[in-house]
Amino acid sequence: MFTKERDNIRETAESRSPFQRTQRLVSSAFAELIGEKPYEEILVQDILDRADIGRTTFYAHYFDKGER
């Protein structure tokens, strides 16, 4: 399930680097999740599912959810 904001990120991401695209997708996913439940309850898997990225991609950019 994608929000309109994430759809827009995906559409404009074509002109951005893959690194920037991943950062924006993760940030958007995290912002949505933080509005739904407390930080402590958010799992990396929740971010991965919402951003529609793989675990390897996430950890190539971030050490943990706190770094995002």
What secondary structure letter does DSSP report for 64? S
**66 falls within a domain:** no
Structural domain that includes position 40: 4-61
**68 falls within a domain:** no
**13 falls within a domain:** yes
Q: Is the model's pLDDT at 48 over the cut of 80?
A: yes
Domain count, the chain: 1
The burial of 26, by beta-carbon neighbours within 10 Å (0-12 exposed, 13-18 middle, 19 or more buried), is given as buried
pTM over 0.85: no
CATH number for the domain including 30?
Answer: 1.10.10
pLDDT digits (tens, 9 = 90+) for 19-36: 899 999 999 999 999 999
